[in-house]
Structure 1
């Protein structure tokens, strides 16, 4: 008789499979745990560690400023064209009205000449019309004189004939002729007098219009002649010519800058400021600089908030006379004060800020650095102001995090 063999619940193959699955899960779990705590080993001489201190936060920013003239005037041509002649060189001292260069523009010159001829003809026509009006006035004046003379003669004859007719010396027909002549000339005088009055009123208005038109046309002529003369560019003010590099044949557009004239009446400083401070730098703030061993006080005169290449521009003027020996283009370091000093936790500046934006940092303890959330406030040329997350005496890696930015723990090998 056959014997029933019971099948084992866990055979060797099954046990091995289960063991393999458990080992795989363990390895995955271990790997995941490692991924949560990435460790990077760094040499101590390749990282910078700074200690958090407590002290006065000097709210200033250092600027690299350039010396520029207090006033510069742009030289440009009202009319575009090509450079035909050059009379002065860059860096030359010029007086107001000194010829700098001549611009050639045949099309513009032809247009100006044509306009000048046309306006001159119109002015001549208006002047002729004025003469005609004056001539007409003289003719009417002569007519009035003749009428008045004839009326006086007719009046005298009418009075004489009236007396003679009353005495029956002359006939009715002779008296009627005298009477008609008197009435005729008297009527003509009234009509001519009214015509002269209307003519005078009209003539006055026409003469005013003619004078106004001639004046405007003469102004236009003067403008045209000035434009022709302006093709020779002259110095608008006295000073030193700069940014001036014309070449014979080079073309310029209308009102394009040809150069600048620095008015030699003092200097100011111009500096680029990091965009980080764009909301903190304001006109009227104080600053200082050193030159030849002396400290000079400055004031922010103008802030140009437009950010270019990560910077905006400011202009600073000396509170008193500028130092002797300043020259355009000299570089000077300026310390700009943003607010009064205050007590605060301080952390030395470093490249870690570029990686974290000041939102976290690696804090060192017993040779091991771990990530910690922090809050950075203001900064100056030496320190960041620590608002949260750090205590006095703690150490922080302040050098660049580029190599270990993705790690959670940094082990520093000494």
Structure 2
């Protein structure tokens, strides 16, 4: 009798297949879960971890400043042109009025000469007109003298003839002649007197206008001569010449800077500040610096808020006399105080801020770092002020996040 053999439900091949499928699904599930959590593995020696501390926050900023003269005067040429002669060199000490160089500008010189000639001719014409007016006054004065003399003669004869006529010594016709002459010269005197009065009023006004015009023209002449003289550039003040590098034949535009003269009456510091502090740096704030082993106090005297290449400029002066030995261009580090110290949670500065802007950070616990939202306030040259999101003694990755900004968890391999 034949024995019935039962067929197995799973053969070896089927079991292997099922096992492979299960392993594949497990790997897929693990990979999917890993992608959701976005875990990044980092070596401990390639990251920096800092602990949150509680202490005094110094609201200060370190600045690199340069020593510059307290006062500098720009040297420029009112007229453009090319350098014809150079009389001194950069770094030289000069007195006020010392010739520095001569600018040549043939076109401007020709224009000045032509204008000078024209104005001189106009002045000569006005002076001739003045002489004519004065001559006319003299003529009218002479006419008045002659009429007054004739009137005196006619008056005397009229009085004599009046007496003679009353005594019947002379005839009516002879008396009438004397009377007519007397009245004639009286009338001429009145007319000439009115004419002289009007002429004098007109002459006074014309002479005032002539004098005013001549004065203005002389001023124009002086300006022209000064412009010609200004082609020789002279030191406007006494001091030391700097930023001065003319070359024979080099062209300069009108009012273009040729150099500077540093007035040797003290120094100040000029520093560039990160735009992050543009609303916090103000005139009157204090700072300090060290030089030759001594600490010197400074005051912010000027803030130039225009931001260029992410920075703005400030100028600081010494509260007392500047230290001896300072030289233009010397670099110094200064500590600028923005406000008084205060107790705060502090986190060491690091490159993570460039990636997060201080809005979040990776907080380390048990070998793993997780992303957490935080809030950063002020910063100084050592620390950030922590406002929210962190507690004392918690640890934070403060090195650069460039490689793992897209991850939520960082596993730290020791």
TM-score range relative to shorter protein: over 0.9
- How far apart, CA to CA, are the structure 2 residues paired with 1:3 and 1:154? 191
Give the alignment's TM-score, normalised by structure 2. 0.94
Cα 1:171–1:49 shift into 2, 3 Å: same
SS at match of 1:355: helix
RMSD value over aligned CA atoms?
Answer: 4.1
Cα 1:408–1:151 shift into 2, 3 Å: same
For 2:376, the equivalent position in structure 1 comes to 376
Cα 1:368–1:12 shift into 2, 3 Å: closer
SS at match of 1:21: helix
1:29, CA displacement in angstroms? Answer: 5.9
Give the alignment's TM-score, normalised by structure 1. 0.94
1:55, CA displacement in angstroms? Answer: 0.4
Cα 1:365–1:12 shift into 2, 3 Å: closer
Deviations 1:264-320 (A, max 9, x none): 000000000011100000000000000000000000000001111111100000000
1:36, CA displacement in angstroms? Answer: 2.0
Deviations 1:231-277 (A, max 9, x none): 10000000000001111111111111110000000000000001110
- How far apart, CA to CA, are the structure 2 residues paired with 1:65 and 1:17? 75
Cα 1:155–1:10 shift into 2, 3 Å: farther
Deviations 1:33-56 (A, max 9, x none): 322211211111111110100000
- How far apart, CA to CA, are the structure 1 residues paired with 2:400 and 2:243? 41
SS at match of 1:64: strand
1:206, CA displacement in angstroms? Answer: 0.5
SS at match of 2:344: strand
- How far apart, CA to CA, are the structure 1 residues paired with 2:261 and 2:151? 78
Deviations 1:216-236 (A, max 9, x none): 100110011000000100000
Is residue 238 from structure 1 mapped to residue 248 from structure 2 by the alignment?
no
1:23, CA displacement in angstroms? Answer: 9.9
* Structure 2 unaligned regions, length at least 5: none
1:413, CA displacement in angstroms? Answer: 1.2
For 2:55, the equivalent position in structure 1 comes to 55
Deviations 1:17-37 (A, max 9, x none): 999999999877654432221
- How far apart, CA to CA, are the structure 2 residues paired with 1:393 and 1:23? 43
1:170, CA displacement in angstroms? Answer: 1.0
- How far apart, CA to CA, are the structure 1 residues paired with 2:19 and 2:27? 12
1:411, CA displacement in angstroms? Answer: 1.2
Cα 1:176–1:23 shift into 2, 3 Å: farther
Cα 1:24–1:411 shift into 2, 3 Å: closer
- How far apart, CA to CA, are the structure 2 residues paired with 1:160 and 1:89? 95
1:403, CA displacement in angstroms? Answer: 1.5
Cα 1:214–1:9 shift into 2, 3 Å: farther
Cα 1:164–1:302 shift into 2, 3 Å: same
SS at match of 1:372: strand
- How far apart, CA to CA, are the structure 1 residues paired with 2:33 and 2:109? 84
1:7, CA displacement in angstroms? Answer: 22
1:409, CA displacement in angstroms? Answer: 1.2
SS at match of 1:150: helix
- How far apart, CA to CA, are the structure 1 residues paired with 2:14 and 2:178? 162
Cα 1:2–1:162 shift into 2, 3 Å: farther
Cα 1:166–1:393 shift into 2, 3 Å: same
- Mapping for residues 128-139 of structure 1, pairs under 5 Å: 128-139=128-139
For 1:206, the equivalent position in structure 2 comes to 206
Deviations 1:135-192 (A, max 9, x none): 0000000000000000001111111111111111111111111111111111000000
1:406, CA displacement in angstroms? Answer: 1.5
